[in-house]
Amino acid sequence: MTTDWKTGRKPQLIILLALIAAAAWWFVYRSLEPFASWFAFGLLGLSSGSRLGAAVAFFVFEAPKVLMLLGVVVFGVGIVRSFFTPERTRSILAGRRESAGNVLAALLGVVTPFCSCSAVPLFIGFVTTGVPLGVTFSFLISAPMVNEIALVLLFGLFGWKVAALYAGTGLVIAIVAGWIIGRLKLERWVESWVYQSGFGGAAAGAEAPLTWGDRTELGREAVRDIVGKVWPYVLAGIAAGAAIHGYVPQDFMASIMGRGAWWSVPLAVLIGVPMYSNAAGIIPIVQALLEKGAALGTVLAFMMSVIGLSLPETIILRKVLRPPLIATFVGVVAAGILVVGYVFNLVL
Amino acid sequence: MESRLIEILGSGCAKCEMLAAHAEEAAKELGLDYAVIKVKDPSAWARYGVMMTPALVVDGQLKLQGRVLSAEKLKELLALA
């Protein structure tokens, strides 16, 4: 498949344009905060101490900031992912031993393009070509949980420490849960037709290598696709965040979801697992909970169980997995999330 | 008139429907004699080595997976088959 839509341009010109675009992006990004203050307190004449003023300034700063970050990161991730096709990931993981295989699979889960709608063909492709079951699960756990939208939003709203904590613990859960599933030897609970289906891997490898033009196109496609889909959630979430920021009393959540309430972590997981939302929809809720006194571990556990485990995904996986294996998968991951929640509430 | 067998591999998700619609549009514009078949059986996807849906197979050859292209770009893939 050759699709050279951009080969007409010289590489020097592309690099120059990219530099100019990056400089313009940085300039606009740096101007957002002064612009938001000017807009709320200068142009609209709101008082800087007022609730409405705080809410408006918050929204006018956060909304473009998060959308700009999202655009850049999704574009970058789109390009990175053009180097990591599922086909390549599969061949890297095929025949790997467990342990090292689990670590590699969890890491590749972050950079390989994945959509839960493709969980079934991916699962078949992996297990029929020699990727161990537990290693496959490490991939299937980390891919939805540690995703670029979650990381960008966490970084944009809470800083790099929370984003890094989330990514790190997400990876650990994927590695350990996959390893445990591998140790339990649950292959008999994979639908028997799966191992019998022949996987024609050669066909997919026959594609022509991508040019840089193709990769930029893929990045832009990702931005259109992802940012085009999630921006209303982001705006709605930030609007809700702005209202909470201005109006809800401090420490409102502390008694319900604070560190003192030991039962809040299991409750968060119990509520979060059947819920399904993309990261863009859940993070504003997370922000609201945190700001009003909920404990970080509880909130991370809630977020992980919403994004990492979902009812629709388990229903999709039912095509290839028998119920006991699905139950084990959900149980092991939920237990991991529970541990993460408690550990953070204790340590932080 | 040249003929093409266009297979759309996918579970019937929104993106699969979109790819099917674009492929049909492209085939019409190229004036092809075509048939579009939606393949929903995962073991059939595996035979083509597909790990991302939706995927496009033209006359038994895998052309595209995990992406939805515009009708304009799909024309190239359909014309080359």
Beta bridge partner(s), residue B65: B55
- DSSP secondary structure string for all residues of A287-304: HHHHHTT--HHHHHHHHH
In this structure, are A172 and A229 located in the same domain? no
Would you call A118 and B77 a contact, using CB atoms and an 8 Å cutoff?
A: no
Structure tokens at B2: 């040249």
Are both A318 and A268 inside the same structural domain? yes
Q: Is residue A146 part of a domain?
A: yes
Note whether B49 contacts A125, CB cutoff 8 Å.
yes
Q: How far is CA A137 from the centre of its chain?
A: 17
Domain that holds residue A156: 86-197+249-347
Rounded (10°) CA dihedral A177, A182, A185, A189 = 70
A38 and A143 inside one domain: no
Which two structure tokens, joined as six digits, stand for A106? 């969890």
**Is the residue at A237 inside a domain?**
yes
**Could you tell me if residue A182 is inside a domain?**
yes
How much of chain A, in percent, has pLDDT values that exceed 90?
25
Q: What is the pLDDT of residue A17?
A: 87
Which amino acid does the sequence have at A277? S
**Contact assignment for B50 to A316 by CB distance below 8 Å:** no
DSSP letters, A19-48, are HHHHHHHHHHHHHHHHHHHIIIIIIS---T
Specify the pLDDT at position B7. 93
- In a domain, residue A128? The reply is yes
On whether residue A202 sits in a domain, the answer given is: no
Q: What is the DSSP letter of A209?
A: P
The count of structural domains within chain B is 1
A40-50: pLDDT as tens digits = 888 888 877 78
- Domain range for B76 is 3-80
CA distances from B16 to A61, A112, A151, A313 (A): 37, 20, 28, 17
Same domain, A262 and A138: yes
Position A1 confidence tier, pLDDT thresholds 50, 70, 90 = very low
| Same domain, residue pair A163 and A300 | yes
Are residue A258 and residue A334 in the same domain, yes or no?
A: yes
- Both A189 and A273 in one domain: the answer is yes
Please count the other Cβ atoms lying within 10 Å of the Cβ belonging to residue A308.
27
Say which residue, A86 or A137, is predicted with more confidence: A137
Contact yes or no for A185/A345 (Cβ under 8 A): no
A242 and A253 both lie in a single domain: no
Asked whether residue A300 falls in the same domain as residue A181, the answer is yes
CB atoms within 10 A of CB A283: 28
pTM over 0.90: no
Question: Is residue A255 located within the same domain as residue A342?
Answer: yes
- Predicted pLDDT of residue A173: 95
Can you give the pLDDT at residue A2?
A: 41
Are A254 and A242 in a shared domain?
Answer: no
The region of weakest confidence among A3-7, B38-42, B44-48 is A3-7
Contact A211, A257 (CB under 8 A): no
In this complex, which of B45, B53, B76 lies closest to A117 when CB atoms are compared?
A: B53
User: Which residue from B11, B49, B67 is facing A204, i.e. has the nearest CB?
Assistant: B49
The minimal CB distance from B51 to the residues A86, A206, A221 is found for: A86
Q: Which of A84-93, A199-208, A284-293, A318-327 has the highest mean pLDDT?
A: A318-327
Domain CATH for B15: 3.40.30.10
Same domain assignment for residues A237 and A315: no
How many structural domains compose chain A?
2
| Token pair listed for A12 | 């020097």
Residues of B in contact with A125 (CB under 8 A): 46, 49-51
A residues 181-200 lying closer than 8 A (beta carbon) to B: 193-194, 196-200
Q: Is residue A3 part of a domain?
A: no
Residue A9 pLDDT: 60
Better pLDDT: A280 or A339: A339
Cα separations in angstroms, A51 against A40, A248, A257, A294: 12, 10, 25, 22
